[in-house]
Structures are given as structure tokens and as C-alpha cells.
Structure 1
Amino acid sequence: MGCSAIGGLLWANSQNRLAQQDAIAEEAEKEPGVESDAYILAKGDYSNLEELLTDVDKPVYDRYTLKQRQEKGLPTMLPPLAVYNKEKVAYLTFDDGPDNKNTLAILDILKANGIHGTFYVTGKMCEENPEVLKRIFNEGHAIGNHSYDHDYKRLYQSKDSFLAEMQQTDDIIFNILGVRPFIIRAPGGTVGMFSADFYPALTEAGYVEHDWNVSSEDATPKRPNAARQIKFVDGMTKGDLKDNMALVLMHCCGGKEETVKALQGIIDVLKAKGYRFGVVTPITPQPW
């Protein structure tokens, strides 16, 4: 073999090695998580959010847990994002699931209507019903963090105890789905529960909390029947609401059979008032 041929072979081998090294390096730089058209998955540096997060049609998740972000030196605080208030949007939200009865019935109704809702789940219920959580996720609904088990005394001791429980529930969700939600809802709402130091701590950790401005009142002591729940939602959505938004509180756990019965009527009322339906994301306006 001549010198030129040997040189060519050596050059080709070196190029192959470089290509292999580049492929290995590229693979190492790939971020975790499964991309999907059904949701937006934030990059490690959040650089894709401003471009992709322009509507409220798709849920938004993180591909890292908060602990993973901290360990990798990635940002935890979300970048500034413009809120979405371009049209009348109703957000159907369901707290305290997932259970294996009423949550499933609600999912069936939403599917029949072609609507995506937002489910604020507890860690304990996710542990008990992981397959229901997977169905919520796979059918394109948004998932939010709603604490581990609603233990107010433990949860609201301090901002640190609140954050610790959010991370505990994050980890449970992440271990089942491979994603972490950014959106959370404080059990009982923030009024009277949060002190001033809670808000900057949540912002620093990348959480976005939403209360509500419309309720079916299905968690009140009177436990209204389906007709009353529909009437409550109808009454609370008369006139213009802040940022053209109806953020509707309902529940999907045990004992909420009347909510299941009311849901179709609530959907019909909101449609008749010109609302379209979205899922809660970091750009959903605050209800107050």
C-alpha cells in the first residue's frame, strides 16, 4: 500500500474517531425527558419557553426536578413571561385527586367534549392511583401540585415546610410521569394561609401558584347538588371577569359525585357565554 493510501486510511480513521467522539459528546449533552406535541417541556435553561409558551392550549412541564436543577447548577426561577389574556378563557380545575372513580368519570366527560382540564393532585393520591395520573397526563390535561395530603398544620408551618412538601409531591409525580409541574395550588387557597415570605420563595423555586375566581362550591359544608353547582358557576361568571378569565374550582376526589353530575351543565353554561377552554400554565393570569 502506497504512502498516499496509508495516509488516506489514517485520515479516514481519525475522522471516524472524531465523529464518534462528537456523537458521544452530543449524547451526553442531550437533556432528559420525552418530547411530545401534547405538552411543552422546558429546556434546562428555559430558553424555549418564550417562543413556545404563547397560548394556554398545552400543559407545560419541567424535565428536571428542583433538586436536579440545583445539583446541575441550572436556573430554578422562571424567566419573565407575558400573561395570556387575549380572549375569554375558562380553566376547569379539579383538586384533591386522582381517585379511581370520580376522576375517571370527569375524564370521560372532558374527553366527550374535547376539552382539557387542569388537575391539582396530591402526592398521596398519586401514590394510590398512579394509572389514573398517567391517564390524565396521556390525555393532554395539565397536572399541578396540590401538596402531599392536605395536612394544613404541617404544610403551613413555614415557607420551608411548604416548599419541602411541594418537592416531595414533585418527586412522586416525576417518578410516575418523568416530568415536574410548574403550577401549584395551595390547599384552601393562599388567603389566610401564606405569609409574605412564601411568595418570593415560590418564585425562586420556579413555582406558579393559582387560586380561583369561580367555584362550584362543591367543597363547602352544604355540599350543593349538581343543579346548585351549575347555578353558582353561572352566577359567578355574569359580567366581565379580570383578564377575561374564569378559573373554576371543582374537586375530583371521593364524595364528589354531584360535581360529576354538574360538569356537563357547567361546560354548557361557559360555552354559552363565549368562553373557550384552556389549561393552567405559567402564563395563565392570576385570578385576583
Structure 2
Amino acid sequence: MFVPSIKSCGAVLCLACLLLSGCGQSEKASQPAAPAEEPAPVEEKAPAYITAADDFSNLTLDNAETPVYDHYTLAQRRAKGLTTVLPKITPYKDKKVAYLTFDDGPDEKNTAAVLDILKQEGVKATFYVLGKNVKAYPDITKRIFNEGHALGNHSYDHDYKRLYASADSYLAEMEQADDAIYELLGVRPLITRAPSGRMGNFTAAYEAIMDANGYVEHDWNVSSADAAPNHPVAQDFIDNISGQAVMNSAIILMHSSAGHEETVKALPEIIRVLREKGYSFGIITPMTPQPW
């Protein structure tokens, strides 16, 4: 019997190997492919904020970085028999903090641009919003909230005639704005800012009705003057803030609504100047020291 050498049958062996290999591949190909693993969903980080207790007893924090909201509207508090009156608030300890505040928004252009700059700079701010603009720009309002800035109530539509017709009319405007924010976010702010400020607009009746309904009003002690009628420009705002920011607690008035492109332009330099002066940045809460 003839037994071929390995050398003489190399081609046959190679062919056999190929055939065997091919069989293996064919067998593998016939098997169903294992399903690809789907990537785990990325969980969105919930915004950090404090929710007021039913009796407001937890508003004693020394924290200028975390927003404070109520998870009830005033109407819900009344219906549940819960208090609407805040206890005596102890302000934060005296620190060198700058509070960047922006009135009259949100809008889709300038408020969005301000948020981009704040995110890039790692700075939190306070946005005193109008209820009608919350309804018009819900996505921008959500972005303010989700990025950890503070939302404050600046009335529903900034109508001086309605706001300052009476204290009851003022309260109705504030509640209307609260309801717009609550409908969107499930919380409402306790902080407010009166259009054009409390000085010269509030009487004792306004002060009493605000206290009875748990609102904490903050005006400002540093003004950018970005709403002045003589069309100031970015450098004017920078100079104004640089010259006025000499106190430990600097509450700075700016605007982020339509027509305030120069404010957007000035903001990076304003942040730089305030840092150079030794300020950290905080957001307004019921515990923020009053500006006066």
C-alpha cells in the first residue's frame, strides 16, 4: 500500500484545511448573530435645589449656591390649610458675593446667549422672569432651571398700570406668574423683584401683602444701567458695575430680554472684573442679605 509523504500531499492537506475551515465558517454564518448590546441610557442629572418644608422651617441655610423653591402654589397652600407666612429669616453670613441678576426674560436669543456664557464661566445667576415669557419660551425657562440657576418672579406681564393699581392687583399678578412657572416646572419661586423696584412703588399695603403671602423681595445695589434710555453700550455696563461693586453683598441688576445684546457682549468682562475684585458668585434665595 502506497502511503504518500506529507510533502507530496501538502496540496491535498491544504485543500482539506480550506474545506474544513470553510465548513466552520459556513456553520458559524448559519448561526444567528448575537444581539448587539444597547448602550445604557444616560441619566440626566437632576438640578440641585431645596424645596421649602410645609411650614417653611428649613429656610435657615447658609448657602448662596442652591436655589430654593416651594412645591405648592399659594392656592394649594391655602386649600391645605398650610401657612403662607415665612418665619423670620436669618440672612447668610457676610461674605463677598456677587449676585448676577437678569430681569424681564426669558427670550430665545439673549437669555440663551447669557446661559451659554454662564455655563462656559462656571457661574450661577438669578433670572427674574415674566410669566408671559415663561409661557412663550418654556424650553429656555427649563434650561435656566435645569442648569442650576435661580428663577424669581418678576410679575406676569410687567404692566405698571395693573401692578400698581393696588396691593391686591399686585398680588394677583405675582400669583399669575407663579402659576405659569409651577405649571411648567412643578415648583414656584419664593423670591420676587418688583418691576422698576420696590422703592417708590410699594406702600405699607404692598409690604404687608407680600409678607402675608411669603414672598421675599430683593431690589439691587449695583446697576449696570443697561435699560437706560440713552442706548448705552457694553463698556458702559462694565464701568458702571466695576465702579459700584464695592460692598460685600453686590446684587447686580441686568436684563436678558430682547434688545439687550450689549449686556450679552459685556457679560464675560463683567465676570472677569468681579473675580478680580475677589467676589464669588451666588444666586438669590430668601436668605440672601437685602441690598440696603
Q: What is the RMSD computed on CA atoms of the aligned residues? A: 1.2
Gaps of at least 5 residues in structure 2 are 1-45
- State the percentage of identical aligned residues: 60
The question of whether the paired residues in 1 share the 8 Å contact of 2:153 and 2:189 is answered with: yes
The AA in structure 1 aligned to 2:254 is M
Return closer, same or farther for 1:251/1:37 CA change in 2, 3 Å cut-off. closer
| Within-5 A mapping of 1:89-100 | 89-100=97-108
CA–CA distance in structure 2, aligned partners of residues 37 and 263 of structure 1: 24
Q: What's the CA shift for 1:220?
A: 0.7
* Deviations 1:184-206, CA, capped at 9 Å, x for gaps: 00000011111111112101100
* Deviations 1:177-236, CA, capped at 9 Å, x for gaps: 000100000000011111111112101100000000001100010121111110010111
> TM-score, normalising length from structure 2?
0.83
Are 1:257 and 2:261 an aligned pair? yes
Are 1:69 and 2:77 an aligned pair? yes
1:155 to 163, 173, 184: 163
> TM-score, normalising length from structure 1?
0.84
| Within-5 A mapping of 1:101-120 | 101-120=109-128
1:268 to 267, 272, 275: 272
Aligned length: 248
Alignment partner of 1:250: what SS?
strand
Gaps of at least 5 residues in structure 1 are 1-35
The AA in structure 2 aligned to 1:39 is Y
Residue 141 (structure 1) aligns with:
149
CA–CA distance in structure 2, aligned partners of residues 137 and 198 of structure 1: 28
The question of whether the paired residues in 2 share the 8 Å contact of 1:124 and 1:149 is answered with: yes
The AA in structure 1 aligned to 2:275 is K
The structure that has the greater radius of gyration is 2
The question of whether the paired residues in 1 share the 8 Å contact of 2:102 and 2:127 is answered with: yes
Q: What's the CA shift for 1:37?
A: 6.2
* Deviations 1:128-156, CA, capped at 9 Å, x for gaps: 00010000000000000001111101111
Alignment partner of 1:154: what SS?
helix
Are 1:40 and 2:50 an aligned pair? yes
Alignment partner of 1:49: what SS?
coil
Residue 126 (structure 1) aligns with:
134
* Deviations 1:8-67, CA, capped at 9 Å, x for gaps: xxxxxxxxxxxxxxxxxxxxxxxxxxxx661001121223333xx221110000000001
CA–CA distance in structure 2, aligned partners of residues 45 and 85 of structure 1: 23
CA–CA distance in structure 1, aligned partners of residues 133 and 103 of structure 2: 11
The AA in structure 2 aligned to 1:265 is E
